Amino acid sequence: MTPEWLQMMARYNAWQNGWVMPIVAGMSDVERDLDRGAFFGSIAGTLSHLMWGDMMWMARFDGGEAPGGSIHETPTFYRDWPAFVDARAALDQRIADWAGQETCFDGQLVWYSGAVGREISADRVVCYTHFFNHQTHHRGQVHAMLTAAGQKTHDTDIPFMPDF
């Protein structure tokens, strides 16, 4: 793992959110909140969970403020869509800033996980990989839900990313 890999993944995150947010913003609240059978139910619930998870991981990585609540509350962490879109853009910038400055790839990251109820320790590179993999996983679910809802989606392949 290298700083360049982190920066590429941060760009990928922002690129993907850059097309997802306008599509989802064009949907009604009812369409966004419709349970579509995904793990977190709806498009809004999945994106809300992803926002919460990204905020939690960034707090561990950069020492910033962690979100409140538990993982079980994440589908309803954000209910105000315009506020969500603004917060998502700000978080994507925070991720890009961190990725542009992160140089620590050795050692362990230690945190208390409310999800499993105990302290966890893992290699930093494993945590960084999980962070970006988690984003890709849940955005993939959103992509599938958007496609099933008849929305026109965009490319998700890293080699098609602008400035790749």
Mind listing the pLDDT tens digit for each residue in 10-40?
A: 999 999 999 999 999 999 999 999 999 999 9
Mind listing the pLDDT tens digit for each residue in 3-12?
A: 999 999 999 9
At residue 52, the pLDDT reads 97
The tokens for 14 are: 């922002």
Quick check: 79 pLDDT over 90? no
pTM of the model: 0.95
Length of the chain: 164
Label residue 93 by pLDDT band (50, 70, 90).
very high
Task: Give the C-alpha separation, 44 to 78, whole Å.
Answer: 8
Task: Give the C-alpha separation, 63 to 77, whole Å.
Answer: 21
Q: What angle do CA 137, 141, 144 make, to 5 degrees?
A: 135
